[in-house]
Structure 1
């Protein structure tokens, strides 16, 4: 079980220091890696997933959020967190197989709602729904 009191940096024992590039994504991800997992905002989780940073630790949090509201509007539009997770490669789930099973269940249970949503590609959804675990 992951200690949500610890940061990604502490859990990975990999300390990045200050960002060398001043963009929203870079600074957000750098700051988020230093915060305890339990204190991450939904936007920080979405951003980390989009950059494939700390997936081992943040996917479980993202799945909990999506279970409560699969089409949650984190910052840009409804379904932006779902889309970030859908864009992951199957290899990105290697440490999170239980979360992958739960994610597939979320997609199955909410398929009609998700498929009618124009921001979310049916192709991405179908990629996950074809997985047999």
Structure 2
């Protein structure tokens, strides 16, 4: 299923089972992620995608959305710093990419094309994460 064809649907619709109601004592992050599962895919912002990626939620649906944005702006500042969406995407578990080999190859090409100077501006260790992602291919 191509998630980009379902931009009007939510992760709760596409990634069963629907999550239970948020517990009363839930952290802010848990409340945020629960809420994001109820937002139509087409309305998820870059920061939302970064959060879902970091929490490894519904990756088969979130990764294509992130790569689509990264193809346009690889070092997009989603919330914390320039390149944070990219780093959240390349550090997704290797198994999450198993059903998305073309998408992984596309992102690998994007990462390989980043200027060295831009990579040096990313947080410490980012160059290792990027190199590890490229080497998996």
Q: TM-score, normalised by structure 2?
A: 0.87
Does the CA contact (< 8 Å) of 1:107 and 1:114 recur in 2? no
Counterparts of 1:43-62 in structure 2 under 5 Å?
43-62=47-66
78-87 or 45-54: bigger deviation:
78-87
Verify: 1:9 aligned to 2:18, yes or no.
no
Structure 1 ranges of 4+ moved more than 2 A: 21-24
Whether the aligned pair in 1 keeps the contact of 2:9 and 2:41 (CA below 8 Å) is yes
**Residue 114 of structure 1, CA deviation:** 4.1
Give ranges in structure 1 of 5+ residues lacking alignment: none
- 2:75 is aligned, of 71, 75, 81, to 71
CA RMSD after TM alignment: 1.6
- The count of residues paired between Structure 1 and Structure 2 equals 132
Kept in 2: contact 1:66–1:82 (CA 8 A): yes
| C-alpha distance in structure 2 between counterparts of 1:92 and 1:10, whole Å | 19
Deviations 1:69-108 (A, max 9, x none): 1111111111111111122121121222121111101101
Partner of 1:126: 131
- Unpaired runs of 5+ residues, structure 2, are none
2:87 is matched with which residue: 76, 83, 88?
A: 83
